[in-house]
Structure 1
Amino acid sequence: MRYRVDNDLLSIQEARINIELAREAAKELKNFSQNQLDTVVEKISHALHPHIEKLAKMAVEETDYGVFHDKVTKNHFVTEYLPHRLNNQRYVGVIHEDKEQKLLEIGVPIGVIVSMIPATSAVSTTIHNVMIAVKSGNAIILSPHPRAKETVRGVIKLIAKTAEEAGYPTGAISCMQLISEKGTTELIEHPDVSLLLATGIPKIIKKFKQSEKPYIYGGSGNGPVFIERSCNVVQSVKDIIDSRTFDHGMVSAAEQSIVVDQPINQLIKSEFKKQGAYFMTEEEKDKLIAILRKKDGSLNPNYVGKSAVYIATLADFIVPNETKVLIYEQPYLDENNPFTQEFLSPVLAYYVENDWQNACERCIELLMNTMNSHTLVIHSQNEEVIRLFALKKPVSRMLVNTPSVFGSMGATTNLFPSMTLGSNAFGIMASSENISPKHLTTVRNIGYGVRKINDCFQKENIGGKEVTDVTIEEVIEQLLKNIVE
């Protein structure tokens, strides 16, 4: 007799086992010092170095997304630059002491973290999330996108083995082997899970909200870039193309809409064409949208992470072989504008505005259209315009004169190096910052007694007495009397 294997039940059971092991490991981790945690981070970093290219190759082959060399770059970033920035930083134990003010700050690990890993940047996101979890003394369970499950399992197998050999508790780093919707629900809703963490998986937000747990979601980009008249034209165009084509446009922080200052429109357009941009006709735009979106309007994954020439060919229009990005110029933004959707491919919308004030309004309109955008870029040498843009925009981060992809992740800026970009639009623990170990801890504030209650008040007469001679009951009585009068 043959018995049908119920993968849902097996996945639920696996989730429970992983959580139980992580819960016990988290208890042990409460006794780890920052120095012990730093040793584990260093060992993980060294262990990953020889496998950077192999892991990038695995990701491209399994997911059929993106560019091998660009994934190598992301992997180097999280295994080399991230640990370098984490070095000498304290997140657990005594993290700050002010002896003069008699104040202490104690960092406390959150506990058990569940991390949902996208297929688009599977390796780099996995490494980043594990690194910051270990640095902050937490246990972490990873649930990979089905399209990247073998790759993520391979990364975690190597990391977990290295961490345990360095003294990290068994079960503190694990990866789901059986991926199912019910298993994922069990992970999200289990009472022993302290924090949910996800990057670029919009369908998961509803489950996160229903769980009523703290969560952090690194959302979609959909960000505009404003090219102001004082900019360096050649460099600005190069930055945008470098960013939008990196990993074939799969990084959520990449520019999606270009807003151009009218006086330099022709210069900008000419430079884009010179550097490999193709401006589509109305008919070509319609053909492109028809393949990038399904009938229900959702993103078609078959065209994610593909080159501009590849998707143009499949959309049945011809572009030069050297084409890097596809651009569609449109006069206004309407409710059905398809370019507010994140395509995760080298496609850009293009708008022209008369001056920076109108460009400012257009950028706000683009940012508010989906309420998902977390990053805005401006190319300008006018510091006044830059400051006014920063003050007015409903966005979590603004970048100046840098490619959005590299600036947002902290490669070409001094923002924290991160593969999960926080946004105030999401999360019970929403943060506009790049997600780091500090977001995976709570801070316990310690204050020593340094004065008596009466010392808080200025010396003055109350009922013929100096305030220092007055009891707290008399002070309160006088305050209430003043309010009534």
Structure 2
Amino acid sequence: MSVVSLKERSVDRQEPVPVTPSPIESGPVEGVMLRARAAQRDFAHVDQATADAAVRALAWALYQPDHARELAELAVADTGLGNVADKVRKKQRKTFGTLRDLLRSPSVGVIERDEAKGLVKYAKPMGVIGAVTPSTNPGATPVNKAMMAVKGRNAIVIAPSPLGYRTTSRIVDLMREELGKIGLPQDLVQILPSPVTKDSTEALMKACDLVVVTGSQDNVRRAYSSGTPAIGVGAGNVPVIIDETADLDAAAERICESKIFDNATSCSSENAVVIVDAVYDQAIAALERAGAYLCTPEEKQRVVDRLWVKGKLSRDLIARDADILAKAFELPKEAESKKFFLVEETGVGKAYPLSGEKLALVLTVYRASDFKAAKARVDEILNHQGKGHSCGLHTKNMDRARELAEDLEVVRVLVNFAHTFGNGGGFNSGLGFTLSMGCGSWQKNSISENLSYRHMLNITHLVTPIPEDKPTELELFGPHWKRIGHEEAAR
């Protein structure tokens, strides 16, 4: 399809969808919102092919190799978080996977029919999406959210972390350029003017039609109190179990690959591994073969003292390369060539900082007497931090996986995965690609699934008559009548 301009292009036949603008406070947000509303009004009625063309354009802005590398280098230079090679991989993998998902799904006109129920569902845009994005992914997350928003024929305004502003501003410019190349309104994608402040972010939250927040829990709470419909995500602190049936070397390789990716910046990165006693020593050996260094009790204390400063994670050590951590922790020379660090722990809670999320190449290790004890430990860790997010299991016993899914208060239970590469969508995982994972009411989130474009749609239901489906009173109340001895139950 050749995309030229909105005026020259045919649009779908549905009636215009009125979008009622929210009040805009004066200040830096006003101009951005006016431009977003104007662009979205033009774009709101395009056909599916045009919406998909816009999504492809946004994806290509980041996916093309020179852009992915430029933005990865910029992000690392500005934030000091993660590493360039993995950020390039993340940008391309997440963008490619999200594009796959979006191009396979309808978002314009009729998106679902249920003849038996007489229902037809029509997709409509929400309007302008306000997206708050984190410093850990200043390039990938804005594109991921923009693709989803535009898929639903919305506009998007991004409020980035100040630390990652330069990176986000650059990718926004690139996305706008790609839209312009195919004759679509560039103002479908915008960024708040610098400097981004709490006040300007809150003004955006109040003025837009949906807020989507990935990042600090403070921003999530602000979004929920803004008066605008909001989707926030929760903190991660992923614990995984290795049981006695697991392929230990395969489990260790997966854990290593996931833990070290982008220096553990992902909320889906493993933060604790709980190993059953029967294979504890063998599993530790397998993790060491995969590239781990096991800290001594004395070294453990230095890890704690230096990774946390006055009760908070050190900005100088989170998401840093392993050799930098080894030197900071004063580990032996051999540790500088390792990929990540194991620290054994016995407790969970505020008095045990290693039981929480670390955003660093440090993996806490717990020993459990058996699977039952391992499950209890995982539950304890999640109740301390990360409840609702996810957990993992390395096993050959699927009954145990089902038990975790049935009993634990998490949205996702991953079995035999490199957790980071399955949790936010993967080519061997049925979860949708995303960089924002809902944690349900367990973390006061409004969704208990991976964020998708469907969360950025309004749905109109066309309802037509069907054969009456009305059971008798006996069918519905019969069991209760029997329990209470009601006379109708005997008839």
Same fold (TM over 0.5): yes
1:252-296 per-residue CA deviation (whole Å, 9 max, x = no partner) reads 10110110011000100111222221222333222222222231x
Aligned-partner SS, 2:410: coil
Equivalent position SS for 2:225: helix
Paired with 2:26 and 2:73, the residues of 1 have a C-alpha distance of 31
1:146 aligns with 2:159: no
Cα deviations by residue, 1:124-153 (Å, 9 ceiling, x for unpaired): 111111111111111110111111111110
Residue 120 (structure 1) aligned with residue 112 (structure 2): no
**Residue 428 of structure 1, CA deviation:** 7.2
What residue in structure 2 maps to residue 134 of structure 1?
Answer: 150
**Residue 28 (structure 2) pairs with residue 14 (structure 1):** yes
1:140-178 Cα offsets, whole Å, 9 max, x none, are 101111111111101001102222443433422101231
Residue 325 of structure 2 is matched in structure 1 by: 311
- Residue type of the alignment partner of 2:301: D
The one-letter amino acid of 1:301's match is R
Within 5 Å, give how 1:15-414 maps onto structure 2: 15-48=29-62, 49=64, 50-178=66-194, 179-188=196-205, 190=206, 192-295=207-310, 297-320=311-334, 321-372=336-387, 374-411=389-426, 412-414=428-430
Shift, 1:357, TM fit: 1.0
Aligned equivalent of 1:417, options 412, 433, 452: 433
Tell me the amino acid that sits aligned with residue 158 of structure 1: L
Residue 470 of structure 1 corresponds to none
**Identity, % of aligned positions:** 26
302 and 347 in structure 1: CA distance in 2 versus 1, 3 angstrom threshold: same
Counterpart residue identity of residue 441, structure 1: L
Aligned to 1:471: none
Give the 3 Å change call, closer, same or farther, for CA 263–163 of structure 1 in structure 2: same
Q: Which amino acid aligns with 2:41?
A: K
Describe the superposition over 1:80-136 as per-residue Cα deviations: whole angstroms up to 9, x where unpaired. 232122213112321012345431011222221111111111111111111111111
> Does structure 1 conserve the Cα–Cα contact (< 8 Å) formed by 2:79 and 2:135?
yes
Q: Which amino acid aligns with 1:187?
A: L
Q: How many residues align?
A: 448
- Cα deviation, 1:7-34, whole Å, max 9, x if unaligned, reads xxxx962212112222233333331222
Residue pair 1:60, 1:66 contacting (<8 A) in 2 also: yes
- What is the CA RMSD across the aligned residues, in angstroms? 2.4
How far does the alpha carbon of each residue in 1:172-225 deviate from its partner, in whole angstroms, 9 at most, with x for none? Answer: 21012312222122112x2x3121112232231232232133222232210100
* Inter-CA distance 432–267: structure 2 relative to 1 (3 Å threshold): same
> What whole-Å deviation, never above 9, does each CA across 1:335-373 have from its counterpart, x for those lacking one?
411023322111111111111111111111111112545
CA distance in 1, matches of 2:363, 2:444: 32
CA contact (8 A) 2:389 2:410 kept: yes
Distance 1:270 1:133, change over 3 A: same
Residue ranges of structure 1 left out of the alignment (5+ in a row): 1-10, 461-481
CA distance in 2: counterparts of 1:428 and 1:391, whole angstroms: 20
In structure 2, C-alpha distance between the alignment counterparts of 1:186 and 1:290, rounded to whole Å: 39
Letter in 2 for 1:258: V
Alpha-carbon distance in 2 for matches of 1:309, 1:44: 36
Corresponding residue of 2:10: none
Q: Cα–Cα, structure 1 residues 318 and 214, in superposed 2: closer, same or farther, change >3 Å?
A: farther
Compared with structure 1, are the counterparts of its residues 67 and 12 closer, same or farther at alpha carbon in structure 2 (3 Å cutoff)?
farther
TM-score normalised to structure 1 length:
0.87
Q: Assess if the C-alpha contact under 8 Å between 2:241 and 2:393 holds in 1.
A: yes
Give the drift of 1:458: 5.2
Cα 1:344–1:425, aligned 2, differ >3 Å: closer, same or farther? farther
CA distance in 1, matches of 2:347, 2:200: 44
**Which secondary structure state, in structure 2, belongs to the residue aligned with residue 46 of structure 1?**
helix
Change (3 A) 1:88 1:276: closer
8 Å Cα contact 1:309-1:319 kept in structure 2: no
- The answer for unaligned runs of 5 or more in structure 2 is 1-24, 475-487
- Matched-pair contact (CA < 8 Å) for 2:271–2:363: yes
**Which shows bigger deviation, 373-382 or 328-337?**
328-337
Q: Determine the C-alpha separation between the residues in 1 that align with 2:249 and 2:349.
A: 30
1:3 is aligned to none
Aligned partner of residue 226 in structure 1, secondary structure: strand
Query: Does the Cα contact within 8 Å between 2:357 and 2:385 map onto a contact in 1?
Result: no
Aligned-pair CA distance for 1:334? 4.0
Distance 1:233 1:174 in 2: 47
User: Does structure 1 conserve the Cα–Cα contact (< 8 Å) formed by 2:213 and 2:223?
Assistant: no
1:260 counterpart SS class: strand
In the alignment, does 2:463 pair up with 1:447? yes
Distance 2:36 2:47 in 1: 18
Greater mean deviation of Cα atoms: 254-263 or 179-188: 179-188
Instruction: Report the alpha carbon displacement of residue 242 of structure 1 after superposing the two structures with TM.
Output: 0.9
Superposed displacement of residue 406, structure 1: 0.3
Distance 2:71 2:212 in 1: 22
**Aligned residue identity for 2:293:** Y
